[in-house]
Structure formats: C-alpha cells, structure tokens
Structure 1
Amino acid sequence: MTPAGASGATVFALPTAWRPAPGSDPVPETAVVEHADLADGLGALAGICGTDLPTVLLAAHIKVLGMLGEADERCAEVADGAGVRHVTVVRAAATWQELVLRVAKAERPVAGSADEVTYGERALFTAGAEAGGERDGSDGSERSGSGGSGERSVSGGSGERSVSGGSVERPGYGLRVHADERRLTLTAALDPPYLARLASMHREVLRAMAADPGGDALAARLDPDERRAVLGDWSTGPRLDRGAGTVVERIVAQAAATPDATAVKVAGTGITYRELDERANRIARRLAGLGARPDALVGVCLRRTADLLPALLGVWKSGAGYLPLDPALPAERLRHMIDAAGCELVLTESAHLPALEPLSGADVVLLDRERESIEALPATPLDRTTDPRSLAYVIYTSGSTGNPKGVMVEHAGLANYLLWTAETYAARGTGGSPVFSSISFDLGMPSLFAPLLTGQPVHLLPDPLDTADLGDELAAGAPYSFIKMTPGHLDLLSYDLTPDEIHSLAGLVIAAGDAFTSELARRWLEFAGPGGTPVATEYGPTEITVGNSGETLTEPPATELIPLGAPIPNTTMYVLTDRLEPVPVGVPGEVYIGGTGVARGYLDRPGLTAERFLPDPYGAPGSCLYRTGDRARWRADGSLEFLGRVDHQVKIRGFRVELGEIQARLRDHADVAEAVVIAVGPVRSRSLAAYVIPAEGTPMDATGLREHLAAVLPAYMLPAHFVAIDQVPLTTNGKVDTRVLQGLL
C-alpha cells in the first residue's frame, strides 16, 4: 500500500453498525446470491463493455459498497494471482455500462497505512472457479490449497505477506465475496439480518444490471421490504386532517370556551383568557391602522412581561407575521434583523428603544407610552381571516457566512406542530408550561402557545433569569403539564433539584435543541423514580417548524445519544444520500425532512433556499424536503440514531472522525464525569481538543486519558490537547459554547 499521506483513497470499511461488538468472537456466516438465471443479461453487458463476467460481478460488488459508505474516496480490495489490488469505489456512474467500464479502469493507490482500517472492518472480493481460501459455494468447504490462483487464506491475520508461489497470505477480512459463474458467496461475521440485507442488495443490483445495460446505476438498490421501511413505515408520520384553522383562531375559540380561566401567570399576577383576547384585539387594531397586513412582518422586542403574549397574538390578529427580537441581543444584530426583514412596524417598550435606533423606515409602537390610547380602542376582533399559507413568523438563525438568515414559517406548519404538542405534551396535566427561553429561540414555542390551545396557563418566568435560579423558579410553580428545555438545562436541573422535586415537577419534561445523551436520560429517570416525571426527546431544526419527531423514554437506549424519535403527524423524515437516495439500515446518511412543517425558505435568500429546500421525490407534486445537515442512521428496530452534524464530522489526516465517538470513549473512563471534544485550528492542520470535567475528587490525568483512548481508538482519533474544566459552558440558548472552549487553549 501507499504510505500514509500519499495521494489516493483509503480502503473501504464496513459500516460501524454492522460490525461485531468489540471483544466478541463472532462465527462467520455464509450467504449465497444466485445469478445463473441472469446469465444472458449479465453476459450481454459484459459483451457491450468488451470485458468478462468477473469484471461485471466486481462492478456489482462495487455498487453495493458504494451504497454502504458515504461519498468520500474509498477503494475496494480485489484478490487475484498477483496479490491484492485496489479499485476505486465508483459512485458517479450514470448507467450500468458506464459503471462496468469505469471499474475496469479504476485501479488506484491507497492513502494510509495498513493499520488505519483493521482487516475485520474490510471487504475482499475474489473471482474464479477455484480462488484459494474462499468458499466455492457448492459444498460449503474452505479451500486452503494453492488452487488455480496460487493464493491461500490465513484466518485472523493482521497484515499481508508473500508466501511461496508468489501468492499473498490474506488475513481475516470482515467480509469476503467470492464470485463464480453461477453465484456470489458472501462470508462475514455480521449479525444475520445484516448479512441477509447485504446478499439482497447484491441480488437487486445484479437483477438491474441484467435487465438493462443503460439502466440507472445511481439509484439505491435495496431489498423491497427494507426500502418500504426506510421510505414509508419508519419515516412517515400519521396522516391527520388538522383542518384549516390557525393557532390564533383556535386560541380565540378556547378563550370563548373558558373566558375566566387564567391564561397567563407573570410577576405574581394573572391574565384571564378574556383579558388576553381583548388586549390582543386592541393591539391588532393599532397595528392594522399602521398598515399591518398578511405576509408583512412586525418586530416584537419585549421581555417576558404581561405585554408579550397579547402582542404576539395581536400581530397575528392583524394578519401580519412577527419577527422576534430578544432585547438581550446586541443592538447591531437587532437593527440588522429589522432592516433585513423589511419590518415596517416594531412593537416594543421605551426601555428597549435605544438599542433599536436608528430605525430606517419602521414605525415604532411603544406599548408603555401608548397604553391608554390602545386601551381606548374597541376590544372586538377585526373582520379578518388568516390564510394558513401566510407567514406566522420569521426567526433568524446563525449563518455559515457570518450573517444570520431568516427562516419563514407559515401558519399551517405551526398549527400542525402545536396541535401535536397540545395532544402529546399539554394533555399530561392541567398546570400549563413555564417559559424561560428567549423568544428568538423557537424551542419555547410549545410552552408559549400549547397551553393556550387547551385552556391552561402559560407561566412567564422572570426575565432576565440567572440559570442558577432556574431550579428554584420551576420548583415554586410545579407541577406543570410539561416543561421543554435543552439537554444542558436538564443536566443542571438533575443536580439542582432534589429527587422529590424532580419526581413531582411535571407530567413530562422534554429535552430538545441539542444532543441528548442516554446517560443524562438514565440519571433523570433514576432521580425521578417510579411514577415520577418522565422525560422525552424532540428533534427538529427551525426550518421545519420547531420539531418534527419525538419519543417518550421508558428506559435509556443502548445508543450513546437518544434516538430522534418517530415523525409527528403529516411529516416525513428520511435518511438519504446527497442524490436523495435512501441508505440501507445501519448506514449513515443525512436527515431530510418533508411534509406540512417545512418552512417557506429563507427570507430574501433565494440561492440558499434552493440549496437547502429541495423538490421532494417521495412527496406530493410541488412539495419540498429540507436538507438538515444532521447525520443519522436507521437501526434494525426502526429507531433513528443521531450521529451529529455534518459539519461536526471532521477529517484528520484524511480520515473521517466523529467527535461523538471520542466523547463517548472518554465518558467510559472512571475518572471522567463529562467530556466535550471539538476540532481546533485551521483546516489544513486541524487537531482535536478534549475538555474534561474530572470525576469528583480526581485530578485530570492527560497521560492516562490518552492511553485509555489509544486502547480503543486509532491514532488519528486521539486528541492533541486535554483541558480540565469545571463545567461545560453553555450559550444563552443552552447549547455548548465552543467559542469559550476554544479560548481555553
């Protein structure tokens, strides 16, 4: 092989989820793929390409390997009389004819040493009637003589070395595929379901090749049952008719049904549903008089005060959508969002005005100064209806270019999501939900509005609120129907609250917005005890309207991170390649989301919208998929395992590195309470840094941790830096603050 750092690709490795558990001693199993019935078609393809049947069968194997890995440079290993050669895993061939021709010419050097990918992870292809060391498929026996190829296999070896006759002594590959004129024989130490899937994929590819040499070689060739699961049964939420009513119309109906019930609790006072509805009507009239209309945006720059919910509902009642403006944000960012969104109106208070000025072309309504004049307006509603396809709000999220991008969310998607939260979260009790996150963070949407759909109160916690006081504030208002927070907040509460307080805190707590570890879920369930506050997960980026999937946990799963849960009603969630083809079970891919919740796109960013919001090949005509940038893989039980961000997947010395895997191994060490790993430095010389919270009473031993990792991870996955920290720094939205961590180096 070419030494590490040389130009070329790395050898193909079997999917991690398919491999035997570390330390196990699996017995290799064999599966046979017959292809004699396809002889005429495969022979015709070979003739068109001017090659032989073994090359066609190798091309089929290459196609299968391409479906088992992500779109990076990899090589298949092929044994012949001269030893083991390397053939590029071709992924871009449009037709079977092109694939066969390219495979015939695709030999290339390999980057990296033989130790970078262990042989137990690798696949070897051989062809011929008598390939040494391979099963011939007729009697299941192992051939160990020199045979026609002059090769023999040595099981369990750790490298390649020459033996007499110029052959190569081959170690114990994780997968061996032997091809002859009638069948492929697959021998592997995989779980039986994965070996069966692998055999089925080879058969589907051979069938397609034989049927049409000019056929589509880019499409995924999965077993029909597996394809139905990953594109239907597992990936599609229930179909429910939600009707045409928007969230604000449903809240109005609730106010009519329970006018004297408490709708909002804030600063020791309560607002009834009647009072909330009437205040919102008056604000709507003021905004309408200033030109508020459908698809126009009204900036709302307020803290969690008694004016917040009447203002948000008043914007909707005027027909407009709202732009949330957190007063805690830097003034420059606030002004940028107002200008970029083209806001003609801003609702705020006098205290926040200096941060907003100068405003170009926007009228400002100061609720504190105009309170008397607004209260003098009629409390009856405007004669306006809201189109479900009009804008409900625009939320700005961080952008890779450094400028935030505005996500346009429509009423139909918001109603679909909030009705699900009302049924799944608010129905857990009668105590409503607390709001303690920024209005610019859509994680808090169900806490703001789901209680109002069910006649329950919204609890607006003090603003600003020190994180250290969150536990006391929540305990004082408990029990709630539900509380939604980040995993970072859940982690803090698991230490700040007593087991009794955790037990009776709420009908449900939901951790969302960041990676949620099974260890944290285990700790929470242990503290809550039998019959105590259960915990759930919710997943979804802003671009699909807050959340798209969720799951209530009865026990922590075996995975390091909590699975993403099942799609909510009227939505879909696929794991696809960059060509929008489904990936097999156990193979990583990118999460794409479709259905009612997909946002309209990015405000005034048509190029970025076209890049991230794609035509949905599996949905209704005109529907879109959102490309999330999140990596995941289906598990055999139909759960979706989160693997991190695409942009958190880094390359070290040319190899893909999953930061979550290193973190998991660090957490396995008895002297580590928590760990975060990030990539640092410029792309060309990027290294890894591990930030470790030592176990109580234990100093961090960088040498010991490095040795611990070296025992379970390859050299390129070892951090160059180890830094002891007291706690994981969080942003104001409860996510890991990587900028603070980088500053500690």
Structure 2
Amino acid sequence: MSDAASGTSLTYRELDRRANRLAHHLVGLGIGREDRVAVLVERSAELVVVLLGILKAGGAYLPVHEADPADRRQSIVDRSRPAVLLVDDAMRAAGIPTGVPVVAVTDPAIAAESDDDPRVPIDPDQLAYVIHTSGSTGRPKGVAVTQGEVVRLFTDPQWTVERHARVLLVAPYAFDVSAYEIWMPLLHGGQVVVAPPGRLEPKALRELITTHRITGLHLTAGLFRVLAEEAPETLQGVDEVLTGGDVIAPTAVRKVLDTCPDLVIRALYGATEGTVFSTHHVLTRDSGLGKVVPIGEPFTGITVHVLDENLQPAPADAVGEIHLAGEGVARGYLGQPGLTAERFVADPFGRPGSRMYRTGDLARRTADGAIEFVGREDSQVKVLGFLVDLAEVEAALADHPGLAQVVVLAREREDGNKQLVGYVVPESEELSLAAVRAHAKAKLPGYMAPEVFVRLDALPLTANGKLDRDAMPEPDFNQVLASRAPETPLQKELCALFSALLEVPEVGIDDSFFELGGQSLQAMRLCSRIGATIGVGVSVNTLFDTPTVAELAAHIEAKRAAYESRTA
C-alpha cells in the first residue's frame, strides 16, 4: 500500500501487524462480534489500517463522513450507537461527535500492543460495515452489509483481476465504492494507492495515475463525463475504469475510448443495499454503442428482476421497478425494522425465505434482454454519483425559521447535469434566499445543498389538493444579480468563461461561481479551461476560496507577478 500524500508505503506484513495492534487494543476495550466502531479519519494509509483492524477485532466499521455538517455527524452517531469512535489528529482538531468513547489512532497504547494475529473467529455472515445513505424521513439510513457479501463480490470470477493490481483510493470512505478501492486489491495481493485528502482535480489525478502506474480506477458518471470532455488523456495507461452511479453518456464513452483505445470501461449499476455493484457491462474500442449504455449482466449469484406493480415481470420494453435478489442483498437498515421490511421484501421467484431489495429504480428490459435504466420512482435522485433523498433535503430546509413551505426538485440543465433546486414559500417578504442557501450548506453535505432557489407565493396543487410537482416553474439559471462590469482583460476573459460554462448571458466581477449555480464537476471544468486559455493553473480549492471573478482575477494576477519576479 502506498500513501501518495506522505510518500510512505506499507508491505502486507507491515499492514497486518499494524492492524493487529489496533485489533488487540479494541478487543481490550471490549469490542467483540459485530460491535460497531465509528471512524472519523482523513484519507490516508492509516485509514486502511483502521478499517482492517476493526474487522480483525470482530467489529464492523461505521464511517462518519468528514465533509458532513457537525449535526449530521452527531445524528449518525446518536442513532447508530457505536461502541467507540476512532479519530485522527486532524479530525479531532476540527470537532468530533460527542456521547461516545473516543480513541485516537495515534494513542501510544495502540503501538504497544502485540502485533500477533488476535485470532478472533470471523463468520462470513458477520457484519462488515454500516454505510449511511440519504433517508426519506429526514434521517440517514444505515445499510448493514456482511463480510461474506464483500468477499463474494470482489472475488467474483467475472472480474479480470490483473486490471486491478494497483487501485486508487479516492472515494470518500463513507461512500460504498470505497469498498472496491480497498478490498478488491487487498483480496488479490494487489496495491492500494491512497490519494491525498481533499478534492482531486484532473491534473492531480493524471499525475497519480502516471506516478503510481494505476491500473484500476472508479469514477462517478459525472466525473467520467467531465474528464471525457475536458481531458480524456488523463486515463491513458489505466487498464480498466469503472463508472456508474447515474446515467452514463455514450458520447463520453466514445471520447475516452478514442483517446485511450486499449482501455476497458466497465459500466456498473448497483445500490448500497445490494453491496455496491450488482450488474456490469464491459465496453471496449470494439463495442457497439447505441443511444443508451445498458446496465449490463448481473454478477455471479445475483438476479435482477424488472417487475410491475403486481410484482410480475414487466413485458419487454415496458417500464418496471428493478428488484435485486440472490447474493448481495444487505441485511437491512440498522435499527429501522419497519423501513427494512418495506424495502427488503420476500422474493416470490427464489427459494423459501429469500428476499429481494426494491431499489426504486425504473428500467425496461429490451427485446434482446438488455436492461436500460429509466429513472427513479420516488423522491430519490442521483446527484454527483450520490443517491439523495429529496425529502431529507426538504426536512433540513424546513428548519429555517423564515420558510412557510419548501419543495426540492432535481432539474436537468442543458449540459445534462442535474442540479437541486429549492422552491420556497416565505413567511414574509423579508426572507433572504442567500440566508436559506447558507442554512442548507450548514445542515447538509455539499452535494445535497441546493444552490438555486425559487421564491413562490404558494405551492401549486392538483385538482384533488395534492402537490403538483409538474407545475413547478423552471428555474431561471440565467438570472444574475447586479454586479460590477469587468474592467481588465483578465476579468473579461474570466467573465466569458463563467458565462459559457454556466450558460448565463452576463456575468459581473462580483458574481460567485457557486451562487450562479456552479457545482464541483463544473468547477473542475472551469479550472481546466482557465489553464488552457489563460495559461495559469488554478485549483478547485482555490476556486472555492476565491469564487468571484474579482477575487479569482486578483489571485491569478498575484500568481503571475510572483512567477515574473522569480524569473526576472
């Protein structure tokens, strides 16, 4: 295992010994079979040690996302009731949840433990992890997955293991795709290459791929599209790229394969409740690409049903709901038996006692047997590769004292990206939409916080008094608040880039990229275009710190001046 940030590496023996010390320490604290251990650690080699050590002690790891607002992290800990919270120094300094015993991963007592195998008996049906996804009640849902299901997926013979000899760990560990990035290489004697903490931009991704000779990589469908449009050469040298989490654009696949003809792209479909991935579709330079990338064939032991409202197979080309059955179905939702019973139902096509998971995803099975994803049946949508329950976003916004009513929808922009839009009915004319936006960012993870809000006098209703979502007005993505006009050539160039990328007619120098509707993936595109047209490299982190044209122009001018003084 290699840690790209520190430049250090661990052999399998070193990883095993360090994990053993932590396991002994946890056992000494009373951690036993299926006890949940919360984890709040920066992405690093230490993270892999921590997760492996928890499993060796017989426990199950429960990721707490460092990017989540403090009250959401606290809520997850309160409801999950972990036995221990493991933290590193960086996370402890930033603030951690309360009400649970805390153990620092740098505690000298851990280093003093035995590095022998603790020999704790492990059963395949034993809990491996609990990962939280967005919940319709306004509460995150903790999905409980067993060790046997993780091992089954990543030892499936349908994988070509050699393509995953060196895998980049870049996903948040609270995102279930991290299971692929960690356990796929470790189960086959491969290497985990840990990306530095924070956002990873295309240029940095390219450097990591080249320096560490990455062979296997996962990208969300949105990030895959960005790289295809802006820098497909980023993926040169990679053997296989996994992508999914939303509709995969065939045009993006073509662009990448035209630039990287030896690359294998594996389109994936799955759900956290189905243990990460359930189906896959392999694409190469010789693959025929139609207008839709199908979700593919199931992995070994998994059955995919497309069923109508009577739980009968939907006819060919008719839309039905995807149900996952057989191997991979999670145990259920931690501490939520009612919701578990609602979503994990009896499998009428399987053996007695078997279950299937109702995904809420709509699809159609074509005449030739391919399954094409259509959309969602309920309030859950995919944004930036994350499943977001709109009801949870609405519940967080409803806490704002100035709102009488609120509805959140996912709207698709002309560029194909989905953006959350909040429709609000204020209690008074004094309501500030900027204050509502700030409230959302304080309460929700970044990918769940709407950037665009529409003020309404009243929510539209159908004739029978139900909310008429179809009557919600289209948001005006082109609306721009009054701002000073650009004065310098650089400011004019930046305004033009903002305008073209965000599809707004006019941009002033006081306008914020993010308040105009820009999102993380668009931020990557902007930084790439600034480098190509202006000739000065700008990172996404810099854009977050200097989001207005005026601020960004000042940063670029200062960077140019510093360079000229060094070379004078």
Equivalent residues in 2 for 1:454-473, closer than 5 Å? 454-467=188-201, 469-473=203-207
Secondary structure of the 2:125 match is: coil
Q: Does 2:112 correspond to 1:376?
A: yes
Q: Is the 8 A contact 1:524 1:535 kept in 2?
A: no
Change (3 A) 1:590 1:352: same
Q: Is the 8 A contact 2:54 2:61 kept in 1?
A: yes
Q: Does 2:326 correspond to 1:595?
A: yes
Of the three residues 211, 218, 222, the one matched with 1:484 is: 218
Of the three residues 646, 652, 671, the one matched with 2:377 is: 646
| Structure 1, gaps ≥5 residues long | 1-261, 651-658, 667-671, 703-723, 735-745
Of the three residues 7, 19, 42, the one matched with 1:303 is: 42
Deviation, structure 1 residue 587: 0.4
- 2:312 maps to which residue? 581
Relative to the length of structure 2, the TM-score reads 0.68
- 2:227 maps to which residue? 493
- 2:9 maps to which residue? 270
Distance 2:213 2:311 in 1: 45
Change (3 A) 1:351 1:679: closer
Q: Is the 8 A contact 2:364 2:372 kept in 1?
A: yes
Distance 1:695 1:632 in 2: 36
Spell out, residue by residue over 1:377-410, the C-alpha distance to the aligned partner (whole angstroms, 9 max, x if none). 1111112121111110001111112111111111
Deviation, structure 1 residue 278: 0.6
Spell out, residue by residue over 1:620-661, the C-alpha distance to the aligned partner (whole angstroms, 9 max, x if none). 2111110001000001221100001113699xxxxxxxx99x
Secondary structure of the 2:21 match is: helix
Q: Is the 8 A contact 2:305 2:322 kept in 1?
A: yes
Q: Does 2:59 correspond to 1:328?
A: no
- 2:426 maps to which residue? none
Secondary structure of the 2:19 match is: helix
Of the three residues 499, 502, 505, the one matched with 2:235 is: 502
Equivalent residues in 2 for 1:593-632, closer than 5 Å? 593-632=324-363
Distance 1:332 1:680 in 2: 21
Relative to the length of structure 1, the TM-score reads 0.53
Equivalent residues in 2 for 1:19-168, closer than 5 Å? none
Spell out, residue by residue over 1:69-102, the C-alpha distance to the aligned partner (whole angstroms, 9 max, x if none). xxxxxxxxxxxxxxxxxxxxxxxxxxxxxxxxxx
Aligned residue identity for 1:428? R
Of the three residues 102, 118, 124, the one matched with 1:364 is: 102
Spell out, residue by residue over 1:10-43, the C-alpha distance to the aligned partner (whole angstroms, 9 max, x if none). xxxxxxxxxxxxxxxxxxxxxxxxxxxxxxxxxx
Change (3 A) 1:595 1:497: same
Q: Is the 8 A contact 1:590 1:629 kept in 2?
A: yes
Distance 2:110 2:380 in 1: 53
Change (3 A) 1:688 1:639: farther
Change (3 A) 1:279 1:731: farther
Q: Is the 8 A contact 1:494 1:527 kept in 2?
A: no
Equivalent residues in 2 for 1:337-348, closer than 5 Å? 337-348=76-87
Distance 1:349 1:503 in 2: 35
Aligned residue identity for 1:332? D
Change (3 A) 1:425 1:512: farther
Deviation, structure 1 residue 686: 2.3
- 2:274 maps to which residue? 544
Change (3 A) 1:366 1:726: closer
Deviation, structure 1 residue 677: 7.8
Of the three residues 476, 500, 523, the one matched with 2:255 is: 523
Q: Is the 8 A contact 2:202 2:231 kept in 1?
A: no
Distance 2:104 2:502 in 1: 54
Of the three residues 679, 683, 686, the one matched with 2:472 is: 686
Q: Is the 8 A contact 2:2 2:10 kept in 1?
A: yes
Deviation, structure 1 residue 472: 3.4
Distance 2:308 2:120 in 1: 45
Distance 2:497 2:375 in 1: 24
Deviation, structure 1 residue 539: 0.7
Change (3 A) 1:466 1:263: closer
Larger Rg: 1
Change (3 A) 1:571 1:356: farther
Change (3 A) 1:687 1:646: farther
Change (3 A) 1:480 1:698: closer
Distance 1:378 1:485 in 2: 39
Deviation, structure 1 residue 321: 0.4
Change (3 A) 1:267 1:560: farther
Of the three residues 174, 177, 190, the one matched with 1:443 is: 177
Deviation, structure 1 residue 350: 3.0
Spell out, residue by residue over 1:243-265, the C-alpha distance to the aligned partner (whole angstroms, 9 max, x if none). xxxxxxxxxxxxxxxxxxx5766
Deviation, structure 1 residue 444: 2.1
Deviation, structure 1 residue 494: 2.5
Change (3 A) 1:457 1:648: same
Deviation, structure 1 residue 425: 5.0
Distance 1:297 1:316 in 2: 10
Distance 2:17 2:246 in 1: 38
Change (3 A) 1:425 1:329: farther
Distance 2:203 2:68 in 1: 21
Distance 2:380 2:83 in 1: 41
Change (3 A) 1:329 1:676: closer
Equivalent residues in 2 for 1:181-200, closer than 5 Å? none
Deviation, structure 1 residue 460: 0.5
Spell out, residue by residue over 1:514-542, the C-alpha distance to the aligned partner (whole angstroms, 9 max, x if none). 2212121122112213xx22211111010
Distance 2:74 2:222 in 1: 30
Aligned residue identity for 2:155? L
Deviation, structure 1 residue 730: 4.8
Change (3 A) 1:583 1:283: same
Change (3 A) 1:479 1:392: same
Distance 2:503 2:115 in 1: 64
Aligned residue identity for 1:291? G
Spell out, residue by residue over 1:569-619, the C-alpha distance to the aligned partner (whole angstroms, 9 max, x if none). 111111002221111111000000011211111111111111100011111
Aligned residue identity for 1:503? Q
Distance 1:366 1:307 in 2: 12
Q: Is the 8 A contact 2:268 2:277 kept in 1?
A: yes
Aligned residue identity for 1:401? T
- 2:560 maps to which residue? none
Aligned residue identity for 2:101? D
Aligned residue identity for 1:631? L
Secondary structure of the 1:581 match is: coil
Change (3 A) 1:580 1:674: closer
Distance 2:54 2:320 in 1: 40
Spell out, residue by residue over 1:165-217, the C-alpha distance to the aligned partner (whole angstroms, 9 max, x if none). xxxxxxxxxxxxxxxxxxxxxxxxxxxxxxxxxxxxxxxxxxxxxxxxxxxxx
Change (3 A) 1:373 1:423: farther
Secondary structure of the 1:480 match is: coil
Query: Percentage identity across aligned positions?
Result: 33
Aligned residue identity for 2:44? T
| Structure 2, gaps ≥5 residues long | 382-408, 424-458, 460-466, 479-495, 506-514, 526-568
Change (3 A) 1:403 1:557: farther
Q: Does 2:408 correspond to 1:408?
A: no
Of the three residues 422, 427, 431, the one matched with 2:162 is: 427
